[in-house]
Amino acid sequence: MYRRSVLQVVSMSFPRKDQGPRLRPNLDLAVGSLPSIICGLLAMAFVLLATTDASRADGYAFDTGDVLRISVFGEAAYPLEVVVDDRGSISLPLLGDIQARGLNSVALSQAIQGAFQRQKLILEPFVQVAVGQYRPFFISGTVAHPGSYPFQPGLTVRQALSIAGGFRATITGNTEPALQIADLRSARSNLAIEEYRLKVRLARLQAESRQDKTFVAPPDPPVEFAGRLIADIVASEQAQLDAHLAAYRDDISYLEASTVRAKKEADMVATTRKEREKTADLQLEELQSARALREKGLVTNTNVMNAERAHTSYRAELAQTEFQQVQAQQELLNAESELRKKHQSYDMDLLAQTQDTEVELGKTQSQIRYVADKLLFIFTYGEQRTFDDLQGSVKISIFRRDQKAAHDIVADENTEVKAGDVIEVSVAANKGFYAPEISATGAIAPGVVGQ
């Protein structure tokens, strides 16, 4: 049975104008006492507070990580704080799971009210939903202290950077710029060597896919390479090309020979079957002729029986030949299938290796660009700077997920941050980076440092 809400008691206590004096005699019965009136006023105040708080949070959509404060007037189990789980739901006493993702405070309070009514727990429940703690935002990249931080409404990128310790070329922020430059140059050299090695491998894989016996090494070895090291890398990939092609051709030759052999066997069995079919037909004619002569009394019964035995024997041999032909055809199909599988497996393996190498090459080149950006930024700025000092050299992007899709937003220091945002801070490569002073390998040319 429904339990009546406090507001219902209040509505019974104060008659409407259209009811007139007819309900006034029942006032004492409905109200009971002055404390009931006070409870009614408290309920009205509760509804007013809930409405006011909901209006403030009306534009905020809940998602995983939000801590919500749920109040249900008159319920002993409430108020309580619940966390929106990874399914976007909250778990409430008596009601179980309620979907909260994408809802604001008004919509969620209505959903909870509807759940109480559907389960016939409260006739007209009064529910207040407030944010106890917003889900955090995340900041990464060239900041002093990347990580997750508590969100507050009205937060801007400038404030988020301040919370994360400000923009810095390196996370530590305490290392001497000269030592950072040395470390980054070493990392850049190692990445350049890895980049060239992957380019040589990619050239070898492309030649292997064309069945070429040789390949042309990339013409841009990094300056960090000695001539002998380049020759060793190319020779190693050439040896792999020779070995792979030789093994592949051996396998193909064997399978092709097996296919030719199976085809010859099938053709031979088919020819044998045709000859035996002709012989069986001739013997059948002789048998029919012997039977006709026996009916005329021209041959004995023994001659007919000999002809029948000979015909039966040929029919048995013919059946055996038919079975052998089926087997030979199946062996031919198997041999052709193995040959096709070998071609397909070889091509798919080459394709997978090529794609993996291209991905690794892309990652390495991305790391090279990042190290070059970082190297030049440390050389140019060295220490933490303000946005005014940076003069547009910082790139800020925000990865934001809503109910429909996730997307990247190009931001600046005044962009408003939302709960759950991932802020990525990096050096913008179009603000003097990769300048003429930077060599093709990303190393700063001699004489630049210290100018």
**pLDDT tens string 264-278:** 888 888 888 888 888
Mean pLDDT of 14-21: 40
Per-residue pLDDT at 35 exceeds 90: no
pLDDT at 172: 44
- Mean pLDDT within 435-445: 41
CA atoms within 13 A on the CB side of 404: 1
Query: Side chain identity at 227, as an amino acid letter?
Result: G
pLDDT at 407: 80
Q: Give the pLDDT mean for 412-437.
A: 71
Distance CA 425, CA 157 (A): 10
pTM of model > 0.95: no
Residue 177 has pLDDT above 70, yes or no: no
Q: What is the pLDDT of residue 69?
A: 94
pLDDT for 414 = 87
For position 364, what pLDDT does the model report? 92
Per-residue pLDDT tens over the stretch 110-154: 999 998 888 888 888 889 999 999 999 999 987 888 999 999 888
Distances (CA, A) of 201 to 187, 212, 310: 21, 14, 70
Binned at pLDDT 50, 70 and 90, residue 83 comes out as very high
Contact predicate 124/5, CB 8 Å: yes
Whether the per-residue pLDDT at 23 is higher than 60: the answer is no
For residue 70, name the pLDDT band (cuts at 50, 70, 90): very high
Q: What confidence tens digit (pLDDT) does each residue in 185-204 have? A: 888 888 888 898 999 999 99
pLDDT of residue 302 exceeding 80, the answer is yes
Joined together, the tokens standing for residue 366 give: 């991305």
Strand order in the sheet with 147-149: 147-149, 137-141, 422-427, 394-401, 406-411
Please say if the pLDDT value at position 36 is more than 80: no
383-418 pLDDT, tens per residue?
555 666 665 667 889 998 876 677 888 888 889 999
Q: Is the pLDDT of residue 53 over 50?
A: no
Structure tokens at 56: 């403030």
Taking CA atoms, 162 is separated from 118, 351, 413, 444, in Å, by: 48, 47, 11, 31
Instruction: Indicate the pLDDT class of residue 183, thresholds 50, 70 and 90.
Output: confident
